[in-house]
Chains A and B, each alone.
Chain A
Amino acid sequence: RKEVEQDPGPFNVPEGATVAFNCTYSNSASQSFFWYRQDCRKEPKLLMSVYSSGNEDGRFTAQLNRASQYISLLIRDSKLSDSATYLCVVFSGGYNKLIFGAGTRLAVHP
């Protein structure tokens, strides 16, 4: 089993749609969690950290479920500019244990 697993997609959604991505992780001792966004042929950039209580940033909501060992990202009112790959990142202690998922690709169409 991979340490961090994501549905690779692609998720093809129309503008204005709500879309959700899940990410599961295998190490129950994982300490912190993040969503990064990566545009085609570009470097990853931090989208948001994921807090135990859940957190929201505009149209984006991140949730953490430690019992089931998954994190989620919800995007409301999708924009064309949201088209990208979303990487789930899990920190499990030690910088050689910052694990990146393979990413979920989102394509928003008019």
Chain B
Amino acid sequence: NAGVTQTPKFRILKIGQSMTLQCAQDMNHNYMYWYRQDPGMGLKLIYYSVGAGITDKGEVPNGYNVSRSTTEDFPLRLELAAPSQTSVYFCASSYSDGGPLYGELFFGEGSRLTVL
């Protein structure tokens, strides 16, 4: 099993450019998440999805958009990139029946984005 796969691993953007970070999981997990991690900081939730067709904002959604058309894929779109979006982005997935989280979050290897 590949687990959670993120692409690209590294990207440099110019201010104002747009791009999509891809995330795919092959574990049939219903929940998927996008986090960003700034140096010395905890992971901050950008968006999450509880299933195909359902997405919701996390703590820091501004400047981002997501879609979840299939169980497997959860792309993150950055519109009009800004230097403040320079960060490491992690996609994660988990299985849940909607109750408290008792299971593990599986993370992708991360995508390092620099906006200049």
Task: Assess the A46–B56 pair: CB atoms within 8 A.
Answer: no
> A43-B90, A43-B108, A45-B107 are contacts. A99–B101 as well, Cβ < 8 Å?
no
> Is the CB–CB distance between B100 and A91 below 8 Å?
yes
A49 touching B43, Cβ below 8 Å:
no
B57 CB to closest chain A CB (Å) equals 7
Q: Which of B43, B58, B102, B107 contacts A96 (CB 8 A)?
A: B58
B residues less than 8 Å from A99 (CB atoms): 42
Interface residues of A in 25-52 (CB under 8 A from B): 31-32, 41-46, 49
- B59 interface contact, C-beta 8 A: yes
How far apart are the CA atoms of A49 and B103 in the complex, in Å?
A: 9
Contact A44 B100 (CB under 8 A): no
Per-residue contact bits, chain B 40-78, to A (CB 8 Å; 1 contact, 0 not): 111111001010000011110000000000000000000
CA distance A41 to B112 in the complex (A): 10
- Known interface pairs A96-B56, A102-B42; A43-B101 also in contact (CB < 8 Å): no
Which residue of A has the minimal Cβ distance to B47?
A96
Can you name 10 A-B residue pairings with CB atoms under 8 Å? A31-B100, A32-B101, A43-B90, A44-B90, A44-B105, A44-B107, A46-B105, A95-B31, A95-B33, A99-B42
Q: Apart from A96-B45, A96-B56, A100-B42, what are 15 other A-B pairs with CB-CB below 8 Å?
A: A31-B100, A42-B109, A43-B108, A44-B105, A44-B107, A45-B107, A46-B104, A46-B105, A91-B100, A91-B101, A95-B50, A96-B58, A98-B45, A100-B43, A101-B42
